[in-house]
């Protein structure tokens, strides 16, 4: 399969690509295609144009409206000189214009680059420079960091603003999103591109430094719904898929940009996660499939009168992004009568490739079995496959794969013998279920043992006073590293009432002595990405600063 020559300088050599395997009958596509043709135009042509495609607060947008708005915006962007292969940054929360803008760019063969609404001016400038963006579409409420970075956006020729104060914004050189949609024509041809050409760039959440661009070919926008949508969630046309993951990450992009529309289903959007608003949205939009990070489920469990909301529409709850923990699974099931089917995926591989939802049989604490079409193994550092029960590195291959933008060395480290080196320590049990131990970067090496921080975190979370916790390794001259816990207490508890020593003692007998946290520090909150992932690198950076009150050492 060919790739357009203009992308060769941005992509790693083909010999560094992971092997892409197409073992399912659905994964047969033409050499050139346009995802909008398959996800929107096909639904309209089949007479389903009046079906709801997007729900946001009290808005309902039909398939025909979404398709037409996307084409009109596409025509206006095309008139600005934007065309096939051009990169355009999206700085938008999960609102309808984010969906429209994405599809508009795909219509004309341009490449959307969704970015986190939390990206700083430095991160925005880095992304724009890295992908050589020619334009940027931004919500007025998120314009501040764009303006601060404007002098560094040297390749950006046009900035389109959604909402805001017009004509004041026009006087500052910005373009009005609503005007572009109104002015555009609907008769714009859909550009078909080679199936392995980049379709979207998603930048990692920056858990290990500046965001890295991950490339997702045109075909992946159909592969994800054809694999996980069909064999995982088993999406039906009457489904309403809701959640909170930003479209800037693989989870959000797949949930709200690709999966629903392949089946004529609807996407339920929320601009910002709030526990009570999420309950209200489930009730109002009649959400049937809910996908949230574990942190969101835990926050929803803290809502005191959540039983007043009608959740009867829900048929499936799923989650990922961090460890769900068995406790969260049991608490949610006990309170709402629903299981949470945990899954595991990466932005690099676009979406979930291991999940409990595959057989609808959850093992609390495990993230499940391989999704059909994927092969997952556990290997040691010499590449030998390990038997059940032994902790090793996870490698996977399937129809999607890790592909970095302008980073050959990172690509080289990400692929092992044609397989995607996922970057996590896991083990597989006798039933073929996978269990998370630690990120490779987060593993704690203490007294000759390898310890995953999540096991310690799950133990500490069982303490009745603990709201949240993050564990990292800190240097120790004798043991090599100690486990240090950063603990957020629940409202009503103070470090005077709950001492660090109490947290350490609580863990004794529940985990092996060598796994005990040796230090505990109380903090107001923990750094997390919008998808709920704990930013342990920021916690490790705090270790270099003097610890405040509320710190203890476990001793030997």
| pLDDT digits 0-9 by tens, 168-181 | 999 999 999 999 99
Token reading at 105: 């760019």
Smallest Cα–Cα separation from 365: which of 317, 315, 314, 330?
330
- pLDDT at residue 549, as a whole number: 44
How far is Cα 135 from Cα 86, in angstroms, rounded to an integer?
Answer: 9
Residue pair 91/117 in contact (Cβ under 8 Å)? The answer is: yes
- pLDDT at residue 1, as a whole number: 75
Where in the chain are the domains? 5-428, 443-553
- List, for residues 217-233, the tens digit of each pLDDT value: 999 999 999 999 999 99
How far is Cα 200 from Cα 333, in angstroms, rounded to an integer?
Answer: 37
- Cα of first residue to Cα of last residue in the chain, in angstroms, is 59
Whether 443-553 and 5-428 are alike in CATH topology: the answer is no
Bridge-partner residues for 397, per DSSP? 375
How far is Cα 155 from Cα 134, in angstroms, rounded to an integer?
Answer: 6
- pLDDT at residue 208, as a whole number: 46
How far is Cα 375 from Cα 392, in angstroms, rounded to an integer?
Answer: 16
How far is Cα 32 from Cα 13, in angstroms, rounded to an integer?
Answer: 21
CATH fold of 5-428 reads Rossmann fold (3.40.50)
How far is Cα 264 from Cα 262, in angstroms, rounded to an integer?
Answer: 6
Residue pair 177/155 in contact (Cβ under 8 Å)? The answer is: no
The CATH superfamily assigned to 443-553 is: ANL, C-terminal domain (3.30.300.30)
Which residues of the chain have a pLDDT value below 50?
207-208, 546-551, 553-556
Q: Give the helix/strand (H/E) hosting 169.
A: helix 168-171
- pLDDT at residue 548, as a whole number: 46
How far is Cα 342 from Cα 426, in angstroms, rounded to an integer?
Answer: 15
pTM: 0.85
């Amino acid at each position: 399969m060919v790739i357009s020559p203009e992308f060769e300088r941005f992509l790693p050599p083909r010999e560094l690509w992971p092997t892409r395997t197409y073992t399912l009958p659905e994964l047969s596509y033409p050499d050139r295609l346009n995802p909008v043709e398959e996800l929107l135009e096909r639904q309209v042509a089949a007479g389903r144009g009046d079906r709801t495609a997007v729900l946001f607060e009290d808005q309902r947008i039909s398939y025909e409206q979404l398709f037409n708005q996307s084409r009109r915006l596409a025509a206006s962007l095309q008139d600005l000189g934007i065309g096939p292969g051009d990169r355009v940054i999206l700085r938008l929360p999960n609102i309808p214009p984010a969906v429209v803008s994405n599809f508009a760019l795909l219509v004309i063969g341009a490449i959307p680059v969704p970015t986190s609404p939390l990206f700083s001016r430095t991160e925005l400038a880095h992304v724009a420079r890295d992908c050589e963006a020619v334009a940027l579409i931004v919500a007025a409420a998120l314009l501040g960091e764009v303006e601060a970075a404007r002098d560094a956006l040297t390749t950006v020729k046009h900035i389109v603003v959604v909402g805001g104060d017009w004509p004041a914004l026009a006087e500052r050189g910005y373009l009005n999103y609503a005007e572009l949609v109104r002015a555009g024509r609907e008769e714009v041809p859909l550009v078909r591109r080679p199936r392995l050409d980049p379709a979207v760039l998603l930048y990692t959440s920056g858990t290990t430094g500046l965001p890295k661009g991950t490339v997702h070919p045109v075909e992946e926008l159909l592969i994800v719904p054809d694999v996980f949508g069909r064999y995982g969630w088993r999406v039906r046309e009457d489904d309403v898929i809701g959640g909170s993951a930003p479209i800037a990450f693989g989870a959000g992009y797949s949930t709200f940009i690709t999966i629903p529309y392949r089946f004529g289903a609807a996407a339920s959007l929320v601009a910002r996660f709030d526990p009570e608003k999420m309950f209200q949205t489930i009730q109002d939009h009649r959400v049937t499939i809910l996908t949230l990070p574990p942190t969101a489920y835990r926050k929803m469990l803290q809502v005191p009168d959540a039983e007043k909301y009608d959740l009867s529409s829900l048929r499936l709850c799923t989650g990922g992004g961090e460890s769900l923990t068995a406790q969260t699974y049991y608490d949610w099931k006990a309170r709402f009568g629903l299981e949470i089917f945990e899954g595991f995926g990466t932005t690099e591989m676009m979406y979930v490739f291991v999940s409990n939802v595959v057989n609808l049989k959850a093992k609390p604490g495990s993230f499940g079995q391989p999704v059909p079409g994927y092969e997952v193994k556990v290997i040691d550092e010499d590449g030998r496959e390990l038997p059940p029960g032994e902790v090793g590195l996870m490698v996977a291959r399937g129809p999607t794969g890790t592909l970095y933008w302008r980073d050959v060395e990172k690509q080289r480290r990400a692929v092992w013998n044609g397989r995607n080196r996922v970057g996590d320590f896991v083990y597989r049990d006798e039933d073929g279920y996978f269990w998370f131990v630690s990120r490779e970067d987060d593993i704690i090496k203490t007294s000759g043992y390898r310890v995953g921080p999540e096991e310690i975190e799950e133990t500490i979370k069982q303490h009745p006073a603990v709201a949240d916790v993050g564990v990292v390794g800190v240097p120790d001259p004798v043991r090599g590293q100690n486990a240090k816990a950063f603990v957020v207490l629940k409202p009503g508890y103070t470090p005077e009432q709950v001492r660090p020593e109490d947290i350490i003692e609580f863990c004794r007998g529940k985990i092996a002595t060598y796994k005990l946290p040796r230090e505990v520090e109380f903090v107001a909150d923990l750094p997390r990405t919008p998808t709920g992932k704990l930013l342990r690198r920021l916690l490790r950076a705090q270790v270099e600063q003097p610890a405040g009150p509320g710190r203890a050492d476990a001793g030997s």
